[in-house]
Chains A and B, each alone.
Chain A
């Protein structure tokens, strides 16, 4: 089975800090995704990537950027963290085709 690992389970950062959330998958999957999850809002897509150095904006990209220098790693960057970015962040990966996503366990980020 594909394993998706997110580097931190819990993270506390200060307003204005630059924050890096790391995600690594252990299979050769082309597609990787970053979602955030907030109560009552479900999972909302921030960015996704379908190949190395490729990226596409999701539904809520404002305040975020991403980096994919290697196929197995997809990083989410908060350029200047704000309190409204306090959330659960979920990374996922899947191969092309009708196959399911594999999600990581999530990173709960608190910005104070």
Chain B
């Protein structure tokens, strides 16, 4: 399985934009990039996914590098409710759905 690398932790000031990076240098052509977040005492929650083009939804934006070896989740205005662990994973929809999540990035939002 292709792996992802994320920083262990990041800090952001409230109401500032946040850019959460993810490296996936061994990504294959059929891998989709997915992002999830996990609030304390809850299961992970789907945030966004993409293949090649940048994507936007009501929660966040996903910027994908041209070579697809890295991506960035963008929270446009961080709020205290965005404090969570963010996971970047790759999903190959050409075959089995086996995916392992790493340890993610713990985002702290400072008031």
A binding-site residues for B, Cβ under 8 Å: 4, 31, 33, 35, 40-45, 48, 50, 56, 58-59, 90, 92, 94, 96-106
Contacts and interface: CB of A to CB of B under 8 A. Distances in A.
B46 A100 contact: yes
Contacts of B41: 106
B33 to A, nearest CB: 10
A94 B34 CA distance: 13
A61 to B, nearest CB: 12
A103 B49 contact: no
Contacts of A33: 97
Given A35-B101, A98-B91, 16 more contacts: A4-B43, A41-B103, A42-B87, A42-B100, A45-B99, A45-B100, A50-B96, A50-B97, A59-B100, A96-B93, A98-B93, A102-B46, A103-B45, A105-B42, A105-B43, A106-B41
B44 interface: yes
Contacts, number: 61
Interface residues of B, number: 23
B103 to A, nearest CB: 4
At the interface, is chain B mostly helix, strand, loop or mixed?
A: loop
21 contacts: A35-B101, A42-B87, A43-B44, A44-B100, A45-B98, A58-B100, A59-B100, A92-B43, A94-B97, A96-B93, A96-B97, A97-B93, A98-B32, A98-B93, A100-B49, A101-B46, A103-B44, A103-B45, A105-B42, A106-B42, A106-B43
Contacts of B43: 4, 90, 92, 103-106
A48 B97 contact: yes
A10 to B, nearest CB: 11
Contacts of B101: 35, 42-44
A92 B36 CA distance: 13
A55 B8 CA distance: 32
B36 A100 contact: yes
B93 A42 contact: no
Contacts of B51: 98
